[in-house]
């Protein structure tokens, strides 16, 4: 593994040495310099890694109980590597991905693992549609949808090391790979809120005034390291989520699990798919109990846990009948007859409409104040609201919903977002937002 591999063979359409937009402890390096550094295994073995910057993202999930929607926010730490470290991680991720893809092909698992793969133009909608179509043609059957608890936070270091060595066909990790492994299992990190507060950096515009790095090396030592703001991961499990190599390593970790589950589910005449920590098994009814025991025991054997309260067991009977509750998978639901968007996602969309209008009203009030005119003489900027919430646009929810409806041929999805114009009009007619 000490030989160099030409970079163009590894990019696979996604340049690992591309410039990353975020602010970190270092400045983005010149491509020629970083390309030479990451391709030299001896240099990588001596690499000095900078602490990660960790941001706590709030995932605003909504749980439906009957007609009541209850907010259930989920905190997810996302860690960003320095520009030099991110380029290194991305370069080795590309190398590992190539070997991982070859192993999947050899094992006949190319269709089983659907997350973090080299692109073939498909997305979550395609994968969900495939599962729903399979159910439609194999009824009666039982779908078992599992969620693995704290996936990245619980990856066992010893298992990860062994699987990593196996995928590169080595008995143990070479020095360069071990250096990267060590940086991800004994990583250090600084909380973004603490860091930005220390240096007076805005969360909303961190690069204001032409800032190209968080601080100088001297300021890092005196105001971050010496001040005790660096946290070191000491557990024997868990890797940071968010680095360019984390997703690849999670798939490598699960390779034997995927092989064993796929083989057994196929022997029962079923279908197995895994998207990151979402495990879906569809089996004939007579194998449902056996399948649950098999999957849960296998998850335990790789030092992970499933969340029993999040297990969705949906029995699909004769063709044309519906099942309650519907199967939820990759943002869509299927009740045996109709495909819909998850109700929580739809509720968040309508909440975003109301939030967008409140922001527009605050902007109007500020404009009126600055101009010294009455509020009624300043119009709300309706064009931006329309583009965001009424029309299909780049990466917005309407575009996603429209695509989902087209690919799944679902009129029910169109009906779910059909009242968006009325919702926007009602929000605009409503009371003014607090300033």
Mean pLDDT, contiguous 10-residue spans, the chain (435 residues): 40 68 93 90 96 85 61 80 96 95 94 81 91 95 93 96 97 97 97 95 88 94 95 96 95 97 97 94 96 95 88 90 91 95 92 93 88 85 90 90 95 95 92 62
Q: Is residue 97 part of a domain?
A: yes
Q: Is residue 302 situated within a structural domain?
A: yes
What is the predicted pLDDT for the residue at 64?
A: 58
Residue 243: inside a domain: no
In this structure, the answer to whether residues 217 and 94 fall within a common structural domain is yes
| Domain count of the fold of the chain | 3
What pLDDT is stored for residue 62 in this prediction? 59
In the DSSP assignment, the letter for residue 156 is: B
Residues 169 and 144 in one domain: no
pLDDT at 392: 87
Out of 182, 198, 232, a domain closes at: 232
Residue 319 and residue 350 in one domain: no
On the question of a cis peptide bond just before residue 149, with omega within 30 degrees of 0, the verdict is no
Does 196 share its domain with 56?
yes
Q: Which of 278, 299, 328 is the last residue of a domain?
A: 328
- Check whether residue 46 and residue 145 sit in a common domain: no
Burial 380-393 (b: 16+ CB within 10 A, else e): eeeeebeebbbeee
169 inside domain: yes
Q: What is the pTM of this model?
A: 0.87
Q: Are residues 223 and 297 in the same domain?
A: no
Q: Is residue 3 part of a domain?
A: no
Instruction: Measure Cα distances from 234 to 155, 183, 185, 324, 375 in Å.
Output: 14, 12, 8, 44, 57
pLDDT at residue number 72? 66
pLDDT at 3: 38
Does residue 207 lie within any of the structural domains? yes
Which domain covers residue 385, as residue numbers?
343-429
195 and 94 within one domain? yes
**Cα separation of 279 and 310, whole Å?**
11
Q: Are residues 95 and 195 in the same domain?
A: yes
My answer on whether 402 and 264 are in the same domain is no
Task: Tell me: do 173 and 293 sit in the same domain.
Answer: no
How far is C-alpha 217 from the geometric centre of its chain's CA atoms? Answer: 32
Please indicate, yes or no, whether residues 159 and 144 belong to a single structural domain of this protein: no
Residue 208: per-residue pLDDT: 84
Q: Do the domain assignments include residue 19?
A: no
With 0-12 CB in 10 A as exposed, 13-18 as middle and 19+ as buried, what is 13?
exposed
Tell me, yes or no, whether 164 and 302 share the same domain: no
């Amino acid at each position: 593994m000490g030989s160099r591999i030409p970079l163009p063979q590894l990019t696979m359409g996604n340049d690992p040495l591309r410039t990353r937009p975020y602010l970190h402890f270092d400045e983005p390096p010149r491509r020629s310099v970083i390309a030479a550094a990451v391709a030299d295994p001896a240099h990588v073995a001596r690499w000095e890694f900078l602490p990660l910057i960790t941001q706590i993202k709030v995932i605003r999930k909504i749980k439906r109980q009957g007609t009541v929607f209850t907010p259930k926010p989920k905190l997810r730490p996302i860690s960003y590597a320095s520009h030099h470290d991110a380029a290194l991680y991305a370069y080795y991720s590309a190398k590992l991905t190539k070997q991982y893809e070859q192993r999947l092909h050899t094992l006949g698992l190319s269709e089983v693992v659907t997350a973090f793969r080299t692109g073939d133009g498909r997305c979550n909608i395609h994968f969900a549609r495939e599962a729903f179509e399979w159910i439609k043609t194999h009824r009666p059957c039982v779908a078992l949808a599992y969620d693995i608890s704290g996936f990245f936070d619980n990856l066992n270091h010893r298992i990860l090391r062994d699987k990593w060595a196996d995928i590169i066909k080595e008995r143990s990790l070479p020095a360069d790979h071990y250096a990267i492994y060590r940086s991800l299992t004994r990583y250090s990190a600084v909380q973004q809120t603490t860091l930005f507060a220390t240096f007076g950096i805005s969360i909303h515009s961190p690069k204001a005034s032409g800032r190209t790095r968080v601080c100088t090396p001297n300021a890092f030592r005196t105001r971050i390291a010496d001040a005790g703001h660096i946290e070191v991961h000491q557990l024997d499990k868990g890797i940071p989520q968010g680095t360019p190599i984390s997703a690849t390593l999670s798939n490598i970790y699960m390779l034997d699990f995927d092989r064993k589950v796929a083989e057994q589910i196929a022997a029962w005449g079923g279908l197995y798919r895994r998207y990151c920590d979402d495990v879906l098994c569809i089996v004939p009814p007579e194998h449902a109990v056996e399948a649950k025991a098999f999957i849960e025991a296998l998850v335990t054997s790789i030092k992970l846990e499933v969340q029993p309260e999040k297990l969705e067991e949906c029995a699909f009977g004769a063709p044309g009948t519906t099942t309650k509750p519907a199967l939820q998978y990759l943002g869509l639901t299927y009740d045996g007859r109709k495909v819909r968007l998850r109700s929580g996602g739809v509720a968040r969309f309508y909440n975003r409409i109301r939030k967008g209008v409140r922001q527009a009203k605050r902007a109007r009030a500020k404009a009126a104040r600055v101009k010294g005119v009455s509020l009624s003489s300043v119009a709300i900027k309706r064009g931006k609201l329309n583009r965001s919430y009424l029309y299909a646009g780049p990466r917005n929810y309407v575009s996603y919903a429209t695509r989902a409806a087209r690919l799944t041929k679902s009129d029910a999805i169109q009906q779910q977002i059909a009242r968006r114009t009325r919702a926007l009009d009602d929000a605009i007619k409503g009371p003014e937002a607090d300033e």
